[in-house]
Amino acid sequence: MKNHNAIIKLVTKVANGYRYWERFRNRCMLVLKKASVLNLTRMMEALKWLKKKKEPDN
């Protein structure tokens, strides 16, 4: 089994901390080679943004 916790700790140390959870999570996903999950998350966020944009202003 891979040592995921050590890799995540290294990501945190190299970055000197993250201010936003999403950025930290995305970086960990990239490092752990889970880009498919990251892409799915980005697509979902893009769909939410498009949905908001299409809603008429009241």
For the chain, domain boundaries: 4-54
Give the closest residue to 26 by CA, choosing from 14, 16, 39, 15. 39
Which residue matches tokens 């889970």?
34
Residue 1 pLDDT level (bands cut at 50, 70, 90): very low
pLDDT of the residue at 36: 57
DSSP letter (8 states) at residue 33: T
Q: Mutual orientation of helices 21-31 and 35-54 as an angle, nearest 10°? A: 140
Q: How many C-beta atoms surround the C-beta of residue 5 within 10 A? A: 8
Share of the chain above pLDDT 90, in %: 0
Predicted confidence (pLDDT) at residue 15 exceeds the cutoff of 50: yes
Residue 52 pLDDT level (bands cut at 50, 70, 90): confident
Secondary-structure percent of the chain, ordered helix, strand, coil, rounded to 5: 75, 0, 25
pLDDT of the residue at 39: 66
